[in-house]
Amino acid sequence: MNNQNLDFVTYCIGNLSRRLGLSAGEVYQRLLSSGILSGYIIPCYDVLHSFSKEYLMEDLTSYMKEKGVLA
């Protein structure tokens, strides 16, 4: 993972944390355990980082629900 990817992952976790009312650590664990982090966010960085924050948060929230790590 390079610095751009790391910055983006941090950005996603921080914004999801605020949006969902969960700690950053909890969001990280959910993304990690569901495979969203290594199977979606990191490999799709080139596309995902071009989306607006609102769209990105909606997309990730929806995917977390689909994966069963968010009610």
**Helix H segments across the chain?**
3-20, 24-34, 36, 45-48, 53-66
Share of the chain above pLDDT 70, in %: 100
Spatial distance between the Cα atoms of 32 and 52, rounded to a whole number of angstroms: 23
Tell me the pTM.
Answer: 0.94
Per-residue pLDDT at 63 = 98
Per-residue pLDDT at 1 = 77
Confidence of residue 29 (pLDDT cuts 50, 70, 90): very high
Residue-wise pLDDT for 16-27, tens only, equals 999 999 999 999
Q: Rg of the Cα trace of the chain? A: 11
Spatial distance between the Cα atoms of 37 and 34, rounded to a whole number of angstroms: 8
